[in-house]
């Protein structure tokens, strides 16, 4: 049956609590800073952007499942039909372009504390098509096209951090640091396809049909996030400069809640549902092949508990490289 759980609301409550903690930490930092403005350049604001390499495995199962379905459907045509092709190259999410702002406060000659907000939004889509023909005693043409197949993920995080600065010259510093906080993430999925079949014998159309459907889904949740970083600072003036930073980030969002919608060509209305996302195990046995396909879904009507392989996890951890500029101020 279609169902909702309380996990999404629990995650939201935890996120709200974390936001309060971060806000309290920022207020304390600003208060401490106000008392210490007698020392020069206590504050530093930074803006940055760059590249994150990631592998959200369960999100990429959407495309992987379609690849497996199409391979099973079309492999006998690839082997035995006269002509044909199928692209079967569904998009994967492998990278993102994060951007953020960070406010830092210098505690002493070596240590800074910071609070930052960072986000990204990334979409991958493709138009995928194939057609097969058989010419013998009759002519049979079958085609299938996705227009489009699309994945999208977006995330926002708020973190507090600690940095240790190591002088490496008159205008250069090396830093190591760590940060932790809370992240909110969401994904969207869209698959819209059409298929046609034409059977002709002795110049007569025996059968001509068109089929198609559009399937959409979304899920969102929140989770703790953390990162370890190393960076190089280069001053370009007394109060400003640039930096390059590399980091390893960790964030795995589970218990995602969301909706789904399906419309079928020439069928009135639509099917709409909500539920918790998980990965379903589907076993297919055919005369010419068999396969186990792992399918992300939040629609469980008609399926049994044993087909639930595991919870769906939106893993936005990764390795990253960013560059940015900073400005210092104080009295």
Question: pLDDT tens for residues 248-260?
Answer: 999 999 999 999 9
Average pLDDT, the chain: 85
Residue 119 included in any domain? yes
Say if 2 falls within a structural domain: no
Q: With respect to residue 83, please indicate whether it lies within any of the assigned structural domains.
A: yes
- Which residue range forms the structural domain that includes residue 57? 7-34+45-329
Q: Is residue 303 part of a domain?
A: yes
Q: Is residue 254 part of a domain?
A: yes
Whether 40 is in a domain gets the answer no
pTM of the model: 0.81
Rg (CA), the chain: 26
Please state the domain count of the chain: 1
First to last CA, the chain: 64
What is the spatial distance between Cα 75 and Cα 33, in angstroms, rounded to a whole number?
A: 67
Q: Is residue 181 part of a domain?
A: yes
Phi, psi of 222 (to 5 degrees): -145, 160
pLDDT tens, residue by residue, 179-220: 999 999 999 999 999 999 888 887 788 888 999 999 999 999
Please check whether residue 86 lies inside any domain of the structure. Answer: yes
Q: What is the CATH number of the domain that holds 230?
A: 2.40.160.20
pLDDT at 69 over 90: no
Cα-Cα-Cα-Cα dihedral of 266, 81, 207, 71, to 10°?
Answer: -20
In this predicted structure, what is the pLDDT of residue 40? Answer: 54
């Amino acid at each position: 049956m279609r169902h909702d759980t309380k996990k999404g609301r629990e995650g939201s409550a935890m996120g709200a609590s974390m936001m309060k903690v971060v806000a309290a930490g920022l207020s304390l930092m600003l208060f401490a800073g106000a008392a210490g403005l007698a020392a020069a350049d206590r504050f530093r604001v930074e803006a940055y952007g760059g590249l994150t390499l990631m592998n959200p495995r369960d999100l990429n199962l959407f495309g992987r499942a379609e690849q497996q379905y199409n391979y099973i459907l079309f492999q006998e045509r690839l082997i035995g039909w006269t002509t044909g092709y199928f692209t079967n190259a569904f998009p994967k999410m492998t990278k993102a372009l994060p951007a953020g702002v960070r406010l830092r406060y210098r505690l002493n000659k070596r240590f800074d504390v910071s609070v930052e907000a960072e986000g990204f939004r990334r979409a991958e889509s493709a138009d995928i098509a194939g057609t097969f023909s058989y010419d013998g005693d009759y002519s049979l043409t079958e085609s299938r096209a996705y227009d489009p197949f699309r994945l999208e993920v977006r995330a926002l995080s708020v973190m507090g951090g600690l940095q240790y600065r190591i002088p490496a010259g008159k205008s250069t510093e090396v830093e190591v640091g760590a940060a932790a906080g809370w992240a909110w993430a969401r994904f969207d999925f869209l698959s819209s396809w059409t298929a046609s079949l034409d059977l002709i014998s002795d110049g007569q159309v025996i059968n001509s049909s068109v089929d198609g459907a559009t399937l959409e889904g979304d899920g969102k949740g929140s989770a703790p996030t953390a990162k370890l970083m190393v960076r190089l600072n280069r001053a370009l003036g007394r109060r400003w400069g640039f930096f390059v930073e590399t980091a390893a980030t960790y964030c795995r969002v589970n218990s995602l809640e969301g909706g789904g919608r399906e419309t079928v060509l020439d069928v009135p209305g639509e099917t709409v549902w909500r539920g918790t996302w998980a990965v379903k195990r589907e076993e297919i046995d055919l005369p010419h092949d068999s396969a186990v396909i792992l399918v992300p879904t939040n629609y469980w009507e008609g399926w049994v508990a044993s087909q639930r392989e595991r919870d769906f996890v939106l893993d936005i951890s990764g390795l990253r490289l960013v560059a940015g500029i900073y400005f210092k101020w104080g009295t």
